[in-house]
Amino acid sequence: MKLRSPWLVALALLLLATVPVTMPGYLTSLATLTLVYALLAMSIDILAGYAGRTPLCHGAIFGTATYVVMYFVTTAGGNPWLALPLGLLAALAVSLVFAALAVRTSGVYFLLLTLALGMIVWGVCQRWTSVTGGENGLRGNARPAVLADPIVFYYFVLVVVLSAAFVMWRFVRSPFGLSLKGIRESESRMRSLGYDTTRHLLVGFLFSGLMAGLSGVLYAWFNSFVSPSTVALAQSVKGLLMVIVGGVGTLFGGFVGAAVIIVLENVVSSFTERWSMVLGVLFVLTMIFAPEGIVGKLRSFLARRRRR
């Protein structure tokens, strides 16, 4: 497939590349956080948008990687770079367990099962105080020294997230990605065509989990703090809302969704502590009025105007 709007992509890249100049200081770190969450949202979209399986466990996978990095660097005193593969490995291991259990289900059952599995991770992080620090969490700088400067870190995250986005884009357009789409449309037909749908979903899940883990590692380096709320359901919900706002099945919509939610979170948090309430209201309103997402809504609105 050809890129339909090369100019738009170029403009977006230019805007992203000039962030430290146009939005210095605190705003740069906000942009870094947005990129980290965009990666999480895209990883969720692989399952929700392409495989047609809406997961509620990615906060847990993301948070597991964050916990592993924080524990390895701050408590065990390990090398921050070595923490990267360890975090990814942990995310893969957790996704493997989740996937093995969940890929045979679909629809609401898949959602419920992944929700319950994610909650278990949260419960373990909450109670396994000797390792996770319980409610207090783990604190300390886990970022490699080379990336200490916020601007350097921003560019590092930008390059990592864009490369990951490119890999994911290739992934969903590959024959394998198309087979996931086929499973979304009709699993029974794909199976009768000779596809091992369970294994395809398993691989799709693992890839999605790996990407969620990568964003979790970046988050650990960014935030220098992890607590049970990082792996909580609200995290998965936030990621999923970003996907829905950006448009399910659009992949790069994750950038838009993440930007909208992160900016909103910051604006709302400066006025009130009731962010969780706003998130809930947002969810309810989106489900009732714009289930195809804000981007999808805008697109259909524009299409209607163009036709006129």
Partner 1 sequence: MSSTLLQLFNSFTFAALLFLVASGFTLIFGLMRIVNLAHGAMYLMGGYVAYFAATASGSFMLGLLAAIVAVALLGLVEQSLLRFVKGNELRQVLLTLGLALMLNDAALVLFGGDTFSVPTPPWLRGPVEMFGIFYPKYRLFVLSVGVAVFFGLWLLMHRTRLGALIRAGVDDSETVEAMGINIRLVFVATFMLGMALAGIAGALGGAFLSLYPTADSEILVYSLAVVIIGGRGSLAGAAVGSLAVALLSTFGQVWFPELSYFVIFGPMALLLAFRPLGLFGRVT
Contacts to partner 1 by CB under 8 A: 54, 97, 101, 104-105, 107-109, 111-113, 115-117, 119-120, 122-124, 127-130, 232-234, 237, 240, 244, 274, 276-277, 279-284, 287-288, 291
Number of C-beta neighbours around residue 77 at 10 A:
8
From CA 118, how far away is CA 236, in angstroms rounded? 9
CB of 244 to partner 1, least distance (A): 8
Nearer to partner 1, 150 or 292 (CB): 292
From CA 92, how far away is CA 97, in angstroms rounded? 9
CB of 3 to partner 1, least distance (A): 30
From CA 186, how far away is CA 52, in angstroms rounded? 10
CB of 158 to partner 1, least distance (A): 31
83, 64 Cβ separation under 8 angstroms: no
CB of 307 to partner 1, least distance (A): 27
Nearer to partner 1, 9 or 277 (CB): 277
251 dihedral zone (left: phi>0; alpha: psi -120 to 50; beta): left
71, 220 Cβ separation under 8 angstroms: no
Nearer to partner 1, 127 or 189 (CB): 127
Nearer to partner 1, 130 or 192 (CB): 130
From CA 77, how far away is CA 255, in angstroms rounded? 34
Nearer to partner 1, 60 or 161 (CB): 60
CB of 292 to partner 1, least distance (A): 11
Backbone angles phi and psi of 225, in degrees to 5: -160, 140
3-state secondary structure of 138: strand
**Burial, 236: exposed, middle or buried (Cβ in 10 Å; 0-12, 13-18, 19+)?**
buried
CB of 236 to partner 1, least distance (A): 10
Backbone angles phi and psi of 52, in degrees to 5: 70, 25
Backbone angles phi and psi of 139, in degrees to 5: -130, 150
Nearer to partner 1, 224 or 286 (CB): 286
Nearer to partner 1, 112 or 302 (CB): 112
Task: Kindly report each contact of residues 198-202 with a partner whose C-beta sits within 8 Å and lies 24 or more positions away, as own/partner.
Answer: 198/103, 198/104, 200/176, 201/51, 201/53, 201/99, 201/103, 202/99, 202/100, 202/103
From CA 168, how far away is CA 79, in angstroms rounded? 28
CB of 253 to partner 1, least distance (A): 17
Nearer to partner 1, 54 or 215 (CB): 54
CB of 88 to partner 1, least distance (A): 23
